[in-house]
Chain A
Amino acid sequence: MEELNKKIMLVDDDPDFIEPIKMLLESHNYTVKTANSEEGAIKLLETYKPDLAVLDLMMDNFDSGFILSHKLKKLYPDTLVIIATGVAKETGFRFSSDSKYGENWTNADLIMDKGIRPDQILKEIKKLFKE
């Protein structure tokens, strides 16, 4: 039943963030592919259509997550996007998808502040998938 599993893409330049989440999601029968840069993610998207993507914000560029979010939604409009970022703690800026305005310009379905517990991201993914 492999092909029925929901497909998730994790993009983050911090392997310590990706690995535990990848393991948890795979244990919940999601198919997970990862990339560690904006460039890597764009390459991956050529062959992989995720149902949901978790994107870091600051990677190759300060706005990599936003760029990826826009490109992804253009390529696959149905793909859900979570931006998981430590930008608030690192720079003092805060972004939010809570308001309609935030949702529109970031193109993300959800913005989460790091550090995120793996069980927390699993909950948000399940919520977005309505599982």
Chain B
Amino acid sequence: MKEQIMNTMTVNGKDIPIETGDTILSALGKAGINIPTLCHIEGLPPTGACRICVVEDTKNGALIPSCSFPASERLSILTHSVKVLKARKTIVELLLANHPDDCLYCDRNLDCSLQKLAEELGVRHRRINSNRITQYVDTSSPAIMRDPGKCILCGKCVRTCEEIQGVSALDFSGRGSKTKISTAFDISLNLSTCVGCGQCVNACPTGALVERSSIHDVIEAIQDPEKIVVIQHAPAVSVSLAEEFGLEAGIDIAGTMATALKQVGFNFVFDTAFSADLTIMEEATELVQRITQGGVLPMMTSCCPSWVKFAETFYPELLPNISSCKSPQQMLGSMIKHYWSEKMNIPQEKIYSVSVMPCTAKKFEIEREEMVSKGTSDIDASLTTRELAKLIRMHSIDMKKVVPSQSDLPFGERSTAGKLFGASGGVMEAAIRSAYWMITGTELENLVITELRNKQDYREIAVDINDLKVKAAVVSGLGNARKILDKIKTKDCDLHFLEIMSCPGGCINGGGQPKSIDKDAVIKRMKALYAIDKNEEQNVSHKNSAIIELYDKFLKKPGSHKAHELLHTTYHKRTDLI
């Protein structure tokens, strides 16, 4: 039902419009009045946990939490009265009472909501003293580190994990002053059901949840004269990195990034969109085989490591449905160590292979047992987009003055289909383009599949390929995925192909992405990917000449024995996680 303008509410003596369903906070936001929050998550029901968003009711002087109080015509409020500012300051002072004073050493220094609020509200000394929490950092997970000492109990991680991702690895435990955020039985994050998606890291207002950084490992490798250090960058990174350098969201800086990476000291810069094309060749072949030879359907994509871990933990019965293809990151890692090293005559052990991903779960993926053969990992270290920005800043590179360059060949050539992997629906669009060509020998008339490009969490499409009607669907956000997975479990589903991405909106909204202040940043990043697809001419994976050459010279053909050995993997049911 469309919301209608209903009435007005009085704010600081002026009337502002309110709509049905508005809370005070949402009405104020629409009127351009910003109220600080620590626990509010847009799109989820309010909890009123932090009380930072209080406003004063002029009629009785009461302080009311604006996030959870419905806006109404009768209301007259003050947003920045002395009483309000004093209350907000006291709340921050109380939060700081048992907060460690280690901002200088904190991962979120200068990027912390609590620090920012303390500064804005004029907190200049510790007024309230309390016992510090003596729980140390949980460093067990390869993806995420959790420091309970910095937690302010806003509950955003809990709600993100439960209500958006449907994982529930974290929850409140204890009562009163002993309340804390905890995993089940307070075990290490690594032994919990956490899938490493990093959405909690994005939600956390402080440094309580951060990615496990690999920056120092990478720097050490770069400085080692014995090592040849290569880096691959994921499709979503080039359209998001600019935000870290104060530029507008949605600008593609692939060329600038390639030069900056060389300036940091990487010997070779490759594009993961190349191996996204390779993934499409393998995955589309697998899909065609499954459909024509009666394989397990619907086939599900395997690009997203936290989705794969989610399936291994919660839906092991559906593991046969997941494509056996490695993710593009791992495929390129494998090609670098097994094909390129030979081609370049560089011993495998001399290569240090790095990836920069919009993702924290990729750090988990590179550590998977299946991604190591004969003592060699496909990828040695994975950085997030945020870490890459730190690395670039550390090397004092002025991104505005960098002259753009191309990624190195042969893994620098890509189609725009590979680039689309960065947005939810992109893998599907790219796969349909190539599957159509594989079956019919002709190109799809309209390469842009608009049905897959809307903002809905779940999108379905049917494509006629010769006599076959291929039914495919796209879903992002693991909580949304659960709904369709439950249908598949009960056989209440006639899909052939299903793309699942853990993060809502796909990799452009990944757990390793810049924490943009622009609310529309994800949409802008998505539009940037679609603009690349529109403006460039090479739109299908199967026409990428570097891919054709790779098959000619090394892999023979999609789905070949060699391809299976190097580009495919297995999954296993996880019974050891709590």
Chain A residues near B (Cβ < 8 Å): 20, 88-92, 94, 98-99, 113-120, 122-123, 126-131
- The answer to whether A90 touches B140, judged by C-beta atoms less than 8 angstroms apart, is no
- The reply to whether the CB of B519 lies closer than 8 angstroms to some CB of chain A is no
Nearest residue, chain A, Cβ from B142? A120
- The answer to whether A123 touches B369, judged by C-beta atoms less than 8 angstroms apart, is yes
Give chain A residues whose Cβ lies under 8 Å from the Cβ of B491.
Answer: none
Chain B contact surface mostly: loop
Q: How far is the CA of A91 from the CA of B220 in the complex (A)?
A: 27
Nearest chain B CB to A42 CB, angstrom units: 28
23 contacts between A and B (CB under 8 A): A89-B188, A92-B136, A94-B137, A94-B139, A98-B216, A98-B217, A99-B216, A113-B139, A114-B188, A115-B187, A115-B188, A115-B190, A115-B191, A117-B190, A119-B369, A120-B190, A120-B367, A120-B369, A122-B369, A127-B372, A130-B375, A130-B376, A131-B375
- The answer to whether A117 touches B136, judged by C-beta atoms less than 8 angstroms apart, is no
Q: How far is the CA of A98 from the CA of B352 in the complex (A)?
A: 14
Nearest chain A CB to B450 CB, angstrom units: 42
- Which residues of B, 65-104, contact A by the 8 Å Cβ criterion? none
Q: How far is the CA of A92 from the CA of B576 in the complex (A)?
A: 26
- The reply to whether the CB of B57 lies closer than 8 angstroms to some CB of chain A is no
Give chain A residues whose Cβ lies under 8 Å from the Cβ of B140.
Answer: 89, 113-116
Chain B residues near A (Cβ < 8 Å): 136-140, 187-188, 190-191, 216-217, 220, 367-369, 372, 374-377, 572, 576-577
Give chain A residues whose Cβ lies under 8 Å from the Cβ of B376.
Answer: 130
Give chain B residues whose Cβ lies under 8 Å from the Cβ of A94.
Answer: 137, 139
Nearest chain B CB to A86 CB, angstrom units: 8
Nearest chain B CB to A119 CB, angstrom units: 6
- Pairs A-B, 4 closest by C-beta atoms: A130-B375, A115-B188, A123-B369, A115-B191
- The answer to whether B190 touches A129, judged by C-beta atoms less than 8 angstroms apart, is no
Give chain B residues whose Cβ lies under 8 Å from the Cβ of A88.
Answer: 136-137, 139
Give chain B residues whose Cβ lies under 8 Å from the Cβ of A119.
Answer: 369, 572, 576
Give chain A residues whose Cβ lies under 8 Å from the Cβ of B577.
Answer: 117
Q: How far is the CA of A3 from the CA of B136 in the complex (A)?
A: 43
- The answer to whether A89 touches B372, judged by C-beta atoms less than 8 angstroms apart, is no
Nearest chain B CB to A7 CB, angstrom units: 18
Give chain B residues whose Cβ lies under 8 Å from the Cβ of A98.
Answer: 216-217, 220
Give chain A residues whose Cβ lies under 8 Å from the Cβ of B187.
Answer: 115
Give chain A residues whose Cβ lies under 8 Å from the Cβ of B216.
Answer: 98-99
Partner of B138, one of A20, A89, A118, A120: A89
Q: How far is the CA of A98 from the CA of B380 in the complex (A)?
A: 12
Nearest residue, chain B, Cβ from A94? B139
Nearest chain A CB to B370 CB, angstrom units: 9
Nearest chain A CB to B196 CB, angstrom units: 12
Q: How far is the CA of A115 from the CA of B372 in the complex (A)?
A: 21
Nearest chain A CB to B578 CB, angstrom units: 10
- The answer to whether A116 touches B190, judged by C-beta atoms less than 8 angstroms apart, is yes
Taking A88-B136, A91-B136 as given, write out 15 further A-B residue pairs in contact, using a Cβ cutoff of 8 Å, ordered by the A residue number.
A20-B576, A88-B139, A89-B136, A89-B188, A92-B136, A98-B216, A99-B216, A99-B220, A114-B140, A115-B140, A117-B190, A126-B369, A126-B375, A128-B375, A131-B374
Partner of B368, one of A89, A118, A123: A123
Give chain B residues whose Cβ lies under 8 Å from the Cβ of A92.
Answer: 136-137
Nearest residue, chain A, Cβ from B364? A120
Q: How far is the CA of A123 from the CA of B217 in the complex (A)?
A: 19
Q: How far is the CA of A46 from the CA of B346 in the complex (A)?
A: 42
Q: How far is the CA of A98 from the CA of B140 in the complex (A)?
A: 15
Give chain A residues whose Cβ lies under 8 Å from the Cβ of B188.
Answer: 89, 114-115
Nearest residue, chain A, Cβ from B220? A99
Give chain B residues whose Cβ lies under 8 Å from the Cβ of A113.
Answer: 139-140
Give chain A residues whose Cβ lies under 8 Å from the Cβ of B137.
Answer: 88-89, 92, 94
Give chain B residues whose Cβ lies under 8 Å from the Cβ of A90.
Answer: 136
Give chain B residues whose Cβ lies under 8 Å from the Cβ of A128.
Answer: 375
Nearest residue, chain B, Cβ from A91? B136
Give chain B residues whose Cβ lies under 8 Å from the Cβ of A89.
Answer: 136-140, 188
Q: How far is the CA of A122 from the CA of B187 in the complex (A)?
A: 20
Give chain A residues whose Cβ lies under 8 Å from the Cβ of B139.
Answer: 88-89, 94, 113
Q: How far is the CA of A99 from the CA of B221 in the complex (A)?
A: 10
Q: How far is the CA of A69 from the CA of B512 in the complex (A)?
A: 36
Nearest residue, chain B, Cβ from A113? B139
Q: How far is the CA of A126 from the CA of B372 in the complex (A)?
A: 8
Nearest chain B CB to A61 CB, angstrom units: 20
Give chain A residues whose Cβ lies under 8 Å from the Cβ of B191.
Answer: 115, 117
Nearest residue, chain A, Cβ from B214? A98
